[in-house]
Structure 1
Amino acid sequence: MARGQRVNLAELHAVVGDKSPVDKGQTPRDDAAVHAAVLTDLTANPRNPREELGDLADLQSIADIQLQPATVVTREAYLNLYPDDTITTRYVVVNGCRRLAAAHKYGRSDLAIVVNDTIARDRVTLISASIAENVDRQDFDVIEEARAVEALVAECGYADVAAERLKKSAGWVSQRRALLQLAPELQTALRRGELAIREARQLARVPLEEQVTRWQATLDRNAAGEGSNSDKRPPSRSRVISSAIADFSAQPELLANALRTYLGPDGVQRLRDLLADSGR
């Protein structure tokens, strides 16, 4: 079954329970068949490009039903590539780490998986598979994406080879890598949605010690009404807030800061009162 294809629940039933080769202690063949694995047999990819899994509320239904299997590799296949990593379970989840985390959080005891050791034939393929699940997703942190692309380039040896593996242009790869040249303050602003990627790429060309000063000068000009129409456009409020909500579990302060910025003291107090009333 191809990754991303919905699972036929009747077919899934046929390979779980008494008929499950996993339950009988047998290793499933690498034939893209769906099997059930208990959570204690699964470890999330230690080299997952996502540093934070974000809000898992959108996966709460996994407690009752799992529509897509996770793609895993065997412990042996993974350790052939990364022998220094510590893996104590039978499988490593390459695509589906959020589903695994949600299964733990919402009380599921097992997970439907597809064992595919071919994606662990070399490091480049494994990294490419890990990135492919996340790249272009709206909730994928752009700096995490840039770091993942940089790791792939390091393994491939050439940026154009990495671009080919990701089915992206060489320019796209170059632009993502450039974001890692930003000062830490600007990387944080980019992650919060306060700095547009287009502006970030321009600032990345400026010497590191001048980047924050240059950005602050642009903000000051915009505040004074001296910038161009395109410069005056503020970051989308919905983008900033939705990003902060997605990261709430890991960084709740981002949402607090966004609400203070856009609601003001009176708005924040009103929100507090409404939340207090709803809890009574």
Structure 2
Amino acid sequence: MARGTTRRSLAELTESIGDKSPVDGKTAALQPRTPTTAPLSHLVANPRNPRRDIGDLSDLASIKDRQLQSALVVSREAYLKLWPEDLDAIEDALWVVINGCRRLEAARKYGRVELDIVVKNEVASDRVSLLTAAIDENIGRRDFDVIEEAEAVERLVAECGGRASEAAKRLNRTEGWVSQRRSLLKLAPELQEALRAGELAVRVARGLAQVPWEEQVARWHAEQENAGKKQEGVEAPKPGPKLRPASAPRIVKALSRFEPEPAILAEALRDYLDAGQLTQLVSALQATR
């Protein structure tokens, strides 16, 4: 030992050298740490994401300065083991975003250079697990297209060997819910678009899905027409205190005397109708001239 030096413990030596310590022949390169952040260039959105349209990202504009929730990712290798045919979609990315695709797109749009991530390759243990994780993030969101949701549920049922009960179990939903969502795919294209646009309620769509495909649109139009008539009936004026039906005989009597004495009819009408109805009557009479 050189003069003037002191003996140092193995722990102290390892600490002083840091991650490049050759102790036990191990290096940091052989023991990579799981990353908690990744540059956007290393990330790609899940090609099997049930959402085709990420929607309006303005609610995520603050991601430029802060990210409130990490994105869940799996490694490139873990993903391609399940879907090797997606190699072109993955390109050179190291991580595939399973939950957080909107955050990824918002980061790109608003100028964030990296994203906080959580690596969970166990999510990619099989296709069913990965699809379930992707669907789970979106189900129940108001901006999630209900037809896209139905398509995602259909894919999950297929991956479960066609067993709707297994898909329901994975999603923590009832088998009836799964069946109802799948039934929406039986709708005619026009009705699917109406459903997407919010013009057709899901509960009505489920009923129409049971009708033969070629009859669905006609049935929907008929139901709309009937609903419109009912609505008109609800909004039509109903007899009430202001109408004073007991004075109706005065109008009949006044009509019999109308030609010589129109003022009598006017007085009877003023007694029978309220102010709003009188205004409507005047407008109607003027329109007939």
The answer to whether TM tops 0.5 is yes
Matched, 1:177 2:177: no
Partner of 2:199: 194
What residue ranges of structure 2 are gaps of 5+ in the alignment? 1-18, 20-28, 235-289
Distance 2:186 2:54 in 1: 24
Deviations 1:217-260 (A, max 9, x none): 1112222338998xxxxxxxxxxxxxxxxxxxxxxxxxxxxxxx
Correspondence for 1:204: 209
CA gap 1:150/1:180 in 2 versus in 1, 3 angstroms: same
Alignment CA distance shift 1:143-1:28 (3 Å): farther
Distance across 1 between alignment mates of 2:189 and 2:171:
26
Cα deviation code 1:171-223 (max 9, x no counterpart): 00000000000001000111111111110000000000000010011112222
Aligned to 2:277: none
Change (3 A) 1:189 1:228: farther
CA distance in 2, matches of 1:81, 1:25: 26
Normalised by the length of structure 2, the TM-score is 0.67
- 1:91-115 Cα offsets, whole Å, 9 max, x none, are 0000000000000000000000001
Match of 1:51 in 2: 52
Q: Taking every aligned residue pair, what percent have the same amino acid on both sides? A: 59
**Rg comparison, structure with higher value:** 2
Partner of 2:171: 166
Residue deviations 1:16-56, cap 9 Å, x none? xxx9xxxx998543xxxx71100000000001000100000
The structure carrying a bigger helix percent of its residues is 2
Q: Relative to 1, partners in 2 of residues 1:27 and 1:77: Cα closer, same or farther, differing over 3 Å?
A: farther
Q: Does 1:96 align with 2:96?
A: no
Seen in structure 2, the aligned counterparts of structure 1 residues 190 and 26 have a Cα distance that, compared at 3 Å, is farther
Whose relative contact order is higher, 1 or 2, with alpha carbons under 8 Å and at least 6 apart?
A: 1
Matched with 2:159 is 155
In structure 2, relative to structure 1, the CA distance for the partners of 1:218 and 1:135 (3 Å cut) is same
Instruction: Report the count of equivalent residues.
Output: 203
Question: Does the Cα contact within 8 Å between 1:131 and 1:148 map onto a contact in 2?
Answer: yes
Q: Does 2:222 align with 1:217?
A: yes
What do the CA deviations read for 1:58-79 (whole angstroms, capped 9, x no partner)? Answer: 0000000001000000000000
Distance in 2 (CA, whole Å) between partners of 1:228 and 1:204 is 28
Q: TM-score, normalised by structure 1?
A: 0.69
Match of 2:127 in 1: 123
In structure 2, relative to structure 1, the CA distance for the partners of 1:26 and 1:53 (3 Å cut) is: farther
CA distance in 2 between partners of 1:223 and 1:112 (Å): 52
Equivalence for 2:40: 39
Counterpart Cα distance in 2 of 1:25 and 1:133: 34
Deviation at 1:134, TM superposition (A): 0.3
